[in-house]
Amino acid sequence: MFIVMIASECAPVAKVGGLADVIYGLSRELEIRGNDVEIILPKYDCMRYEHIYGLQKVLHDLWVPFYDQKVHCSVFFGFVHQRKCFFIEPHSERYLFDRGLYYGHHDDAERFAFFCRASLEFMMRTEKHPEIIHCHDWQTGLVPVLLFDIYKYLGMTHPRVCYTLHNLKHQGVTGEFILREVGLDNTGHYLNQDRLQDNFNSSAINLMKGGIVYSNFVTTVSPQYANEIMTTDQGFGLGHTLYEHRNKFGGVLNGIDYDFWNSEIDRNIPYNYGIDSLDYKFGNKDELRQRLLLRRDFKPIIAYIGRLDHQKGLHLIKHAIFYALKNSCQFVLLGSSTDHDVNDYFWQLKRQLNDNPDCHLEIGFNEELAHLIYAGADMMIIPSLFEPCGLTQLIAMKYGTIPIVRNTGGLSDTVFDADTANKPFHERNGYVFDHFNEEGLESALHRAIGMWYSHPALFRELMINGMKYDYSWNSPGKHYVNIYNYIRE
């Protein structure tokens, strides 16, 4: 099968969060299964170009309709760790993708609406006829709308569209002018409850809703989250739309790429280890301490890696830091935010704790350090308000690091409490708490720290249980191929 992925991120070249890992990992798995996969991305100035091999311009003169004009674009091709990627570069005075940041600009909706139109224009111009177009999140929600209302009539009758929702908090709610911008002129037609009209604001359009309504199949990234967004306020207004389209909607748990996230072969850590050589993990703990100037002491290291977003439970992360320090643990945080206030807040916290030999806060994005933390830490906290799938707990488990998570979304689907899970002990792999408050978090942290100090043998068993789980792309890859086959029929 020929599959084209259209997305705003792809690891490790353009990564903000889990979306990037999914685009890379799923594409790789689909290729292993014998499919031909191409990925279309914007050509951002801030990408990690050192991860693109053989980058070359393959199209000099792509003209993309935008309002009444056409924008001149170039298209580049390169391999991102063997994945075939096309990068679209608009030569516009507005520097759509040359802004030093992936997201967070006032005209993000316009930037990515343009990217949708440009991707389809590129496919038509180069006569690509994939069986499947797989697009992701609000940034590419207009792809199926443009395909079925414009490009189908220009000869692109072949592709079916699978659309994956990675996070319902960001839906691309914007003005209807965006539609005219990309050539969907009959705005009255789209500003309708059954199409793109936002469910809260009747004068706005919702790009994610467009993706849901127009695609042949819609997935989200875990079964539990699929249920939550259809039946609770986690749908942020799209629950009803999903319910109406429930016959073409389901949750497929994300995987992680075990070529990249694997303690046995990871080149970013000094000591490789597996279940049979677990003691080497502690060489990484020493290395992490040295690198972050933490003291060597008989204490567990608790870590947090992730975006610093309210979704992630910022007040609970802060609480966990102080709780850990009070309870004879060390704490390491690696995180960043596009929100200045949140960044300032964590910088202040960092300054306050700067001289503490048991704590290090690293504010920023650092892929290599992330690998060392997964390998060197003993526990990883993920106290999210909501979590569509969550990859950090899956990665942590592969590195024998115990996840301590809130009972929500994909965290519920993948972490099974050491004390209370309805499973035999050998299937338990972490600590889970229900309530999104300090007491809830403490109930799990307290048990985890107690186990580390008082029952090291059991703690080690729990680590091994987690390492034995198969959260690779193998099973989700199979699911996606089934979905693609289903919508092709």
- Interaction of residue 18 with ligand ADP, rule CB under 6 A: yes
CA 120 from centroid of its chain's CA atoms:
24
- Interaction of residue 169 with ligand ADP, rule CB under 6 A: no
Residue of 149, 259, 286, 367 interacting with ligand ADP (CB under 6 A): 367
Q: Minimum CB separation from ligand ADP for residue 11, in Å?
A: 7
- Interaction of residue 38 with ligand ADP, rule CB under 6 A: no
Task: Kindly state the helix (H) or strand (E) to which residue 70 belongs, with its residue range.
Answer: strand 69-80
Those residues whose C-beta lies under 8 Å from the C-beta of residue 172, and which sit 6 or more positions away, are 108, 109, 112, 138, 139, 141, 206, 207, 208
C-beta of 151 vs 374, nearer to ligand ADP: 374
Find the radius of gyration of the CA atoms of the chain.
Answer: 23
Tokens 């009972």 identify what position?
407
C-beta of 86 vs 112, nearer to ligand ADP: 112
Crossing angle for the helix pair 108-125 and 142-149, to the nearest 10 degrees: 40
Q: Which of 128, 44, 127 is nearest to 90 (CA)?
A: 44
Residue of 159, 239, 306, 403 interacting with ligand ADP (CB under 6 A): 306
Residue 456, phi then psi, degrees to nearest 5 = -60, -30
Q: Which residues pair with 64 in a beta bridge?
A: 71
C-beta of 90 vs 335, nearer to ligand ADP: 335
Q: How many residues contact ligand ADP, by CB under 6 A?
A: 18
C-beta of 128 vs 166, nearer to ligand ADP: 166
Count of residues in the chain: 489
Q: Minimum CB separation from ligand ADP for residue 110, in Å?
A: 24
Residue of 139, 215, 392, 412 interacting with ligand ADP (CB under 6 A): 392
- Interaction of residue 305 with ligand ADP, rule CB under 6 A: yes
Residue of 105, 158, 307, 460 interacting with ligand ADP (CB under 6 A): 307
Residues 232-271 interacting with ligand ADP (rule: CB under 6 A): none
> What is the SS3 assignment for 333?
strand
Q: Minimum CB separation from ligand ADP for residue 391, in Å?
A: 4
Residue of 187, 366, 407, 443 interacting with ligand ADP (CB under 6 A): 366
Residue of 1, 2, 12, 17 interacting with ligand ADP (CB under 6 A): 17
Hey, what are 341's tokens? Answer: 């206030």
Hey, what are 13's tokens? Answer: 């070249």
Exposure pattern of 313-344 as b/e (b: 16+ CB <10 Å)? bbebbbbbbebbbebebbbbbbbbbeeeebbe
Residue of 2, 345, 365, 436 interacting with ligand ADP (CB under 6 A): 365
Residues 308-347 interacting with ligand ADP (rule: CB under 6 A): 334-336
- Edge to edge, what strands does the sheet with 2-6 contain? 52-66, 69-80, 83-90, 36-42, 2-6, 132-136, 160-165, 217-220, 249-251
By CB under 6 A, name the binding residues for ligand ADP. 17-19, 21, 305-307, 334-336, 365-367, 370, 389-392
